[in-house]
Amino acid sequence: MRRAEPETRTTDAPSVVGVDLGVKTLAVLSTGEMIENPKHLEHAQKQLRRLQRQASRRVGRDKRTGQQPSNRWLATQARVARLHAYVADARRDGLHKLSTRLVRSHDVVVLEDLNVAGMLRNRSLARHIAGVGMGEVRRQTECKTAWRGSSVHIADRWYPSSKTCSACGDVKAKLSLKKRVFKCDCGLRMDRDLNAARNLAALVQTSSPSCGATVNEPDGTPRKARTVRAAGIATGRLTPRVSQRRDREAPARGTFFHVS
């Protein structure tokens, strides 16, 4: 799809925003802004449970006995489907509003390289993270910065954004997920997520004062951060998906079977 020409900005100081994506709040920006998770999703969840309970009291389809579903059961199923569609739409809408806001008001957006697939394997977090759609935020933001001519900066997966003090740079060895307020010996007391967002923003502000200039620099610190050039995003995926890699390995395992 063809978009309007990307705006070229003339301001000397590019505005950088660090974004800490979370479960409780959808995102915390380094500017101090907090973007809440849409509450209607929770409401829909409650309704969904109600409908599923309702369906269980009605005569459903049973393949073993050949039982045909009742019209009342079918009606409930239709309502479940409609609700699922509503939840998906609402979620997409919220994520699009977030990513649009990020690229509209800032030149450089700094995101974390979240191991979404790995976190989905952690069962206690799975539902929440899947619900928030963190990977989707990144995909959308990368896409939209390409249209605008601004850039996305992806912090390294292992960069300790939460454990680092955004005032003095001290890195804590351990930080419990329960602690919502970051406290440092230097006297800093700050919301945990805001601290993380500021660290992410600082990654770009300290390494390259002129934002786009990072592109021309050699990849000296691959562990710290990597810059995604706006123009390069449109062409392809940055990292191969785990599922794809598995697909390629699958035939090898199959041949082993044939030998015996």
Active site residues: 20, 112, 193
Q: Classify residue 172 by its DSSP letter.
A: -
Choices 84-92, 157-165, 203-211, 246-254; region in contact with Zn ion by CB under 5 A:
157-165
Q: Does 167 bind Zn ion (CB under 5 A)?
A: yes
Q: Does 88 bind Zn ion (CB under 5 A)?
A: no
Q: Smallest distance from the beta carbon of 58 to Zn ion, in angstroms?
A: 59
Nearer to Zn ion by C-beta: 42 or 170? 170
Choices 35-43, 108-116, 168-176, 246-254; region in contact with Zn ion by CB under 5 A:
168-176
Q: Smallest distance from the beta carbon of 166 to Zn ion, in angstroms?
A: 8
Nearer to Zn ion by C-beta: 146 or 203? 203
How many Å is the Cα radius of gyration of the chain?
A: 23
Q: Smallest distance from the beta carbon of 54 to Zn ion, in angstroms?
A: 54
Site for Zn ion (CB under 5 A): how many residues? 7
Place of tokens 């369906």: 55
Nearer to Zn ion by C-beta: 59 or 175? 175
Cα separation values, 208 from 108, 144, 150, 153, 214, Å: 11, 22, 15, 11, 6
CA torsion, points 63, 50, 89, 105, in degrees to nearest 10? Answer: -140
Residue span 180-209 as binding mask against Zn ion, x where in contact by CB under 5 A, dash where not: ----x-x-x---------------------
Q: Smallest distance from the beta carbon of 227 to Zn ion, in angstroms?
A: 27
Binder of Zn ion out of 19, 165, 197, 203 (CB under 5 A): 165
Q: Which of 3, 91, 105 is nearest to 43 (CA)?
A: 91
Alpha-helix residue ranges (DSSP H) falling in the chain: 40-56, 71-105, 116-121, 123-132, 134-148, 192-207, 230-233, 242-259
| Contact yes or no for 101/140 (Cβ under 8 A) | no
Other Cβ atoms closer than 10 A to 4: 7
Q: Smallest distance from the beta carbon of 32 to Zn ion, in angstroms?
A: 18
Cα separation values, 213 from 30, 143, 191, 205, 210, Å: 22, 20, 31, 11, 6
Contact residues for Zn ion (CB under 5 A)? 165, 167-168, 170, 184, 186, 188
